Chain A
Amino acid sequence: MRAQYDYRDKFDFVLFTAVSILIVIGLAAIYSSTQNTVNEQNSIYKQLAFWLVSLFAFSFVYSIPLQTIRSFTIPLYLTTILLLIIVLFLGRVAGGAKSWIPIGPFSLQPSEFAKISTLLALASYLSKPTTDIDSFKDLGYAIAIGMAPVLLILLEPDLGSALVFINLVLLLIFWKGISLFGLFVVLSPAVTALAALFGTPFLLAVLGLIVFVLLIVRKDIFFSGSIFALNLSAAYFVDELYSILSPHQQKRIMSFIDPGADPLGSGYNSLQAIIAVGSGGFLGQGFLSGNQTQLQFIPEQWTDFIFCVIGEEKGFIGSLIVISLYTIIFFRLMKIARISKDEFSSMLLIGILIVIFTHFFINIGMVLGLLPVIGIPLPFLSYGGSSLLSNMIMLGLVMNIYKNLKI
């Protein structure tokens, strides 16, 4: 037995290397985009420190038994909910959102850690053998676990993080094996809500479609009626929600729905990002040589717009390398999920995949002008301690599962 022991069975070097390369690329991009600034020149050292701290966190999560972690699911979940409540009162406002709890010289972003605890809670609940995802009660329970942090985060308001949670809940339920009709019940309010944002004609069209589906499926009248009522209330809720959003977020949503409405206002970041990426060309303008980056045309580029730096300074090749590294991570996670021994592990892995992928999708989609400007960090690359720490903890969870695969 001992002769066959191989470190590769205990540690996924491919995944870890991909993540490490991303972090190094991120450090270079952070250095490039902050070296000319007045107040942010320390960012590179801070990020290095965060990396070190997160490596410890990674090792810790990696080494403790998964069952121990699972047994702390509920306290962890409740703690992060509490933190999300605290941040609403004691939080520091940055970028129009009250998302940070100041701790000494650093600030903690509870929503980053809530992602992990919610993920754990959901995975734990959904993997219980007694949970029937097609039953209304259990489905409602799962949605409630996911939506509690969403509501709190929307109050900050941090639309980007909220979207990650919404996506997490929906996709995990889908992964769990919800029937198509069940998915329709869950998804239709979201579609209705979106249609409500676009205006009454869209809303009426979508409601008409829902009535049509309900007539085809022919469930009992009470059931169909309540689904329709749920949709109506979603439309109402989104209007309320829209008014909760800060004006700059409303503007961002509106500028995506109608890009010509305010080209110099909220469209500015998007335009500058496109110019930055586009002017990179095939090989890029070179490290520390990007016009847009060095002259700071994009505000706070080292956080949510870090991909611009890579696009501009490293070009098409650099961008492809970054996207390939993410692709490796996604497919690696998928593979481990497929071969993992228990449903909790598989749920957890898929949840981590969903969280990282949603960040990747929204962030790069935004930088490339395919999605509205929504503040959300690019995992492993963007500057930010909480984000890096929580991503490394998630990596620790993945490795923890991996090491148990072949015993």
Chain B
Amino acid sequence: MVWECVKELVNFAALSRQRIFIFGISIVIAVFVIRLFQLQIINYDENVERSSGNSIKAIEQIPLRGVFYDRNMELLAQNSPTYSIRITPSEYDTSDNSILEAALDLDRGTIKNILKKNRIYSRHIPIRIKRGVDIEAISWIEENFENLNGVDYIIEMQRTYPGGVNGAHLFGFSKEITPSQLKKDSFYVPGDLTGYTGIEKTYEKVLRGIKGYTYILVDSKRREVGRYKEGKNDVTSVKGKDLVLGIDAKIQKIAETELAGKSGAVVAVEPETGEILALASAPSYDLNMFSYRTPREYLEQLAKDKLKPQYNRATMSAHPPGSTFKILCALAALDLGVIDENTTLYCGGGYTFGRFFKCHGAHGSINVVQAIEKSCNSFFYQLIFKIKLDRLKEYATQFYLGKKFQSDFKEEVAGLIPNSRYYEKIYGPDWPRGILVSLGIGQGEISTTPLQLAFFTALVANNGKSHLPHIVKGFLDEHKKLHVNNSAPLNINIKEDIFKIVKEGMYLVVNGAGTASNVRLPNIKVAGKTGTAQNPHGKDHSWFVGFAPFEKPKIAVCVIVENAGYGATYAAPIARKMIETYLETDSVKTLPKTTEFTSGRY
């Protein structure tokens, strides 16, 4: 059978070789035509897209980042041009590493490490190997351009800070984007900078602007051969929005200078608006060092410093509020009606509850105003039992004590105001009520941040009405018109009369026989309260909170100087200087509340 078939095949082959040839040629031609139809007609769209993707290269135009102005339109942070050196890995010859490192003053192996880190990205995307390069290095690159394949430089912007405000904790800085951030936001490409701390981070999306693109035609070696459609499809970049901060450069500078060499924080708030007028933390660091790749030595130095300069004490350090807390206790007691302005309590030099709790004098029978003025401990030791812990906590929470603001500064801690559940958890249901005694004078298991106390003072000064504290007032549009950010208004439901009673006590602290007579100013009525936060680890921290002018408050300040001892000695003078400067300046006199750019309030 098989043999027959083979024989037949042989015959067929022998007889019609010509036909086999024709058949073969026809098959090949048919296959080619079908394939052409498939490529050119069926897959046309796909191939056209691949063809343009091949040859059109989008060059990103990074927009100018928005700048910062203070409340008086003084420039605080701007952009200055700087050179960055880049390597395109697909074109770069790694044998140039050592020459390049020498020319750019980089450590040996730096380039290798950077390339290795960026291996996860496309080899056609240029990688910055050094930012902020000096002009000598650029001219060296220019001279050796022919021999350095895949090396180029671009002009980029870096932050500089004119006007002498450092504002490290306020402004924060930007850092090169991480791979995980890249995945979340398609705006960025590897090597982009993005806000890392401070308002650079909070307002990243406002500040960064909109990227532009120039489309160019490239050949197979990705060399530019012309503009795509003469630039008709190009997208112009849009500059990021400029921010106007509530900060007043003058008092911010005072805060920074006065804190220099100390460890502590200063926060000033405009009572009516909740705008932060000044916010400083010490020790601080030099923001200029973070404008581009930070030198390793500087980072090491910061990391080694036991005082942690990068830590924002104004919003992240929580200490017992000390006697400044007496203001809240007084407000709560008066509002609850457990005392009135005439109620007197007796101070015989202390108070016994289980054990003897000392006062710093024997004040006799005193009312609440006198108790605040003289900072009588005995009065408040007793008062807390009348208020009851959990009701006190409610008042504290209304005033944002022991509570995060969640406003435009992301780095903050809540602090702690305990309630009975808190003590039950730690000591069981029969927790010793004696703990409460020292809580009445703001000591023990209680902590607040400087910003919380500053805002608390502002609320008291403005009779419980303000807005959530915030750093940024608003942004400028292209016509330099200010658009004010909406910040949540706050209205604490306590009668104005009650605030008046407490404020009278605070006035006397400064102007009467009180503890802060050194804050007294000849032309301005200042009110305030000192405090000492007991510090189990060392010397006590010194607090001062205050506001001025007394009748129509324009500024509320909180100062803490860590490990400085008694509050009036160190903290109060800083506040006095800031209040004095702020209220003496023309801007506050002539423009009591707003700047000329204000477009309307909340």
Q: Which residues of A contact B (CB under 8 A)?
A: 36, 171, 174-175, 177, 179-181, 183, 216-217, 272, 274-282, 291-292, 295-299, 311, 315-316, 319-320, 323, 326-327, 330-331, 334, 338, 350, 353, 357, 361, 364-365, 368-370
Contact = CB atoms under 8 A, between A and B. Distances in A.
B25 A330 contact: yes
B154 interface: no
Interface in B9-23: 9-10, 13-14, 17-18, 20-22
B39 A277 contact: yes
Contacts of B54: 272, 275, 291-292, 295, 297
B233 to A, nearest CB: 15
Contact of A338 (B10, B18, B48, B52): B18
Interface residues of B, number: 39
Interface of B: 2-3, 6, 9-10, 13-14, 17-18, 20-22, 25, 28-29, 31-33, 35-37, 39-41, 43-44, 46-48, 50-52, 54-55, 217-220, 225
A78 to B, nearest CB: 30
B225 A295 contact: yes
A327 B33 CA distance: 12
B220 A296 contact: yes
A277 B36 contact: yes
B21 A311 contact: no
The dominant DSSP class at the A interface is: helix
B32 A368 contact: yes
8 contacts: A183-B13, A278-B40, A279-B47, A282-B40, A292-B55, A295-B225, A334-B22, A370-B31
Contacts of B46: 278
A390 to B, nearest CB: 21
Given A171-B21, A272-B220, A278-B51, 17 more contacts: A36-B225, A175-B17, A175-B21, A181-B10, A275-B51, A278-B40, A278-B50, A279-B51, A280-B40, A291-B55, A292-B51, A292-B55, A295-B225, A296-B220, A320-B33, A334-B18, A369-B35
A9 to B, nearest CB: 23
Contacts, number: 119
A53 to B, nearest CB: 30
B47 A278 contact: yes
B226 to A, nearest CB: 10
8 smallest beta-carbon distances between A and B, as pairs = A278-B47, A279-B51, A278-B39, A297-B220, A316-B40, A180-B10, A279-B47, A295-B219
Contacts of A311: 36, 39-40
A331 B31 CA distance: 17
B175 to A, nearest CB: 33
Contact of A296 (B28, B32, B41, B219): B219
Contacts of A275: 47, 50-51, 54
A326 B28 CA distance: 12
B220 A274 contact: no
Contact of B35 (A291, A296, A350, A368): A368
B28 A297 contact: no
Contacts of A353: 21
A213 to B, nearest CB: 9
A357 B25 contact: yes
B208 to A, nearest CB: 33
B44 A370 contact: no
